[in-house]
Structure 1
Amino acid sequence: MLLTALEFAGLVAFAASGALAAVRARLDVFGVVVVGLTTALGGGIIRDVLLGIHPPTSLRNWPYLAVCAVTALVVFAFHPQVARLRHAVLLADAVGLGVFATAGTTLALNAGATGYAACLIGMTSGIGGGALRDLLLREIPLVLRKEIYAMAALTGAVCVWVGHALSLPAGAVTTVSAAVVVAIRVLTLWRHWNAPVARPPEERSL
């Protein structure tokens, strides 16, 4: 029950972030909804395709689509007010990243994937929607830039793999691993930590 609530909180956060980005890009209401849906559901759809789950879970259960679409419409209608809740959206986004990355890893392990593959699938589940959002908006995906995002998701996925290998309770492992992802994201945002970026040769000569 807790994980389900956290999953929907993550869906709302991802849909809101995608819709806000679409509003900033001056898309119409249809475009805002499409980008919001893609951001929220893209990672899970990629995960299910990789695991051979057809049709993907989010396309078989209407509440997933409904919650994301309503969230995107609310953002479209009240985007100035939503934009002021930046810190709350970032926190919810961190929760969504943690839940999707760890739940995706657990699902992959239960489907018989190797630990290595399960970790990559779990990470993709967490970051896939955001990457698709950025591609739709013709931007370099956030996960390929300096923010510590994908590594946070991968860390949580590895925690799930270790817990699974030690035969620890699955629910506790997923919850704790998701908390690890959230803690890493919140800490890096608070401290403004970023991954190293290579300096162009012309800058080094200055």
Structure 2
Amino acid sequence: MEHNLFVLVDLLGTFAFAVSGALAAEQRRLDLFGVLAISYLTACGGGVIRDLCLGALPPVGISDWRYLATSALAAGLAIWARPIIDHLKHPIVFFDSLGLGFFAVIGAHKALQFGHNVEVAILLGMVTAVGGGVVRDVVLNRVPIILEKEIYAIAALVGAAIQVLGQLMDWKFALTPWFGALTCFGLRALAVRYSWSLPVVRGRDVAQ
């Protein structure tokens, strides 16, 4: 039952990130193959990086057909339902934030399953959450969100930390991942709504 729960959370994160990738690709006016490719890279990029770090080979995003199918389904729905999705104020940010929360808890959970310590679990939770978005933005020639001043990676770290804390303290396993994902999503949504950001490092002006 526990395994099925985390597979579900992982596939939900895959779906959310795939939609954000498809929407971003559509904005760049890519063809159908381009939309499907960006959707898949966004959905599975972070998980592939995580599995390579853990030595879980081949990565589940490549070896399990459900991830490719979920990505393709999400891309198709994003194209078909674009008029409905456009009613959202910031659709890419919304689905990206959903995926961020789901993947943060999944990455942390899997690292703990492989016997790693708290620090590794939290960091790999963050890497899983932000990796796909970085791949998407680099391929589409955009500045990755993680490099901007928005609250993004911090939200993923919080979600991953909640998952790790819950597992170490034997919280009810059926509730912990949802709580971690919801907290991450909520923090990210509030940061976008109220323009929360980290301080910007400003160097001295150099005279020319």
Q: Shorter-chain TM-score: what band?
A: 0.7 to 0.9
**1:148-167 maps to which residues of 2 (within 5 A)?**
148-167=151-170
Match of 1:118 among 112, 116, 121: 121
Partner of 1:16: 19
In 1, distance between residues paired with 2:56 and 2:163? 21
Q: Which has the higher helix share?
A: 1
CA change 1:30–1:171 in 2 (3 A) is same
Tell me the SS of whatever aligns to 1:85.
coil
Residue 108 of structure 1, CA deviation: 0.3
Identify which of 44, 59, 64 aligns with 1:61: 64
SS at structure 1 position matched to 2:30:
coil
Read off the aligned partner of 1:100 and give its amino acid letter.
F
Asked if 1:135 is matched to 2:134, the reply is: no
Number of residue pairs the alignment of both structures matches: 204
Match of 2:100? 97
**Contact in 2 for aligned 1:3/1:99 (Cα 8 Å):** no
Question: Of 40, 50, 60, which aligns to 2:43?
Answer: 40
**How far is the alpha carbon of 1:80 from its aligned partner?**
4.7
Unaligned regions of 5+ residues in structure 2, if any? none
Unpaired runs of 5+ residues, structure 1, are none
Give the TM-score taking structure 2 as reference length: 0.85
- Cα distance between partner residues in 2 of 1:160 and 1:9: 16
- Partner SS state of residue 142, structure 2: coil
Q: Which of 140-149 and 59-68 deviates more?
A: 59-68
Contact 2:5 2:174 in 1 (8 A): no
Q: In angstroms, what is the RMSD of aligned CA positions?
A: 2.5
2:201 aligned with 1:198, yes or no? yes
AA aligned opposite 1:159:
I
The one-letter amino acid paired with 2:148 is R
Residue 195 of structure 1: CA displacement? 2.0
1:49 counterpart = 2:52: yes
